[in-house]
Amino acid sequence: MAVIEPDSAGLMPAGDAEKKRVEEIKAAGGKLIAVYYSTDQDALIGPLTIVFDPETEKLLGFFMRR
């Protein structure tokens, strides 16, 4: 788990509402929570990274794997 900036390159919002929420957090100078999940494919495509809203704990998006 890590605290990340909302303007991190490669963040893919889960939908339009989540994209709007990421922009709101960014405008307020807030941060996001990234949770890393290891899989048997990490060596090939990297870990699965899911991003959550720190206030609501709801899913906001994910990072593309390589």
Which residue range forms the structural domain that includes residue 9?
2-63
Q: What is the pLDDT of residue 2?
A: 96
Q: Residue 56 is encoded by which pair of tokens?
A: 């609501």
Overall domain count for the chain:
1
Q: CB–CB of 66/46 below 8 Å?
A: yes
CA–CA distance, 66 with 44 (Å, rounded to integer)? 8
What pTM did the predictor assign?
Answer: 0.89
Taking only the tens place, the pLDDT of each residue in 9-23 is 889 999 999 999 999
Q: Residue 13 is encoded by which pair of tokens?
A: 């919002």
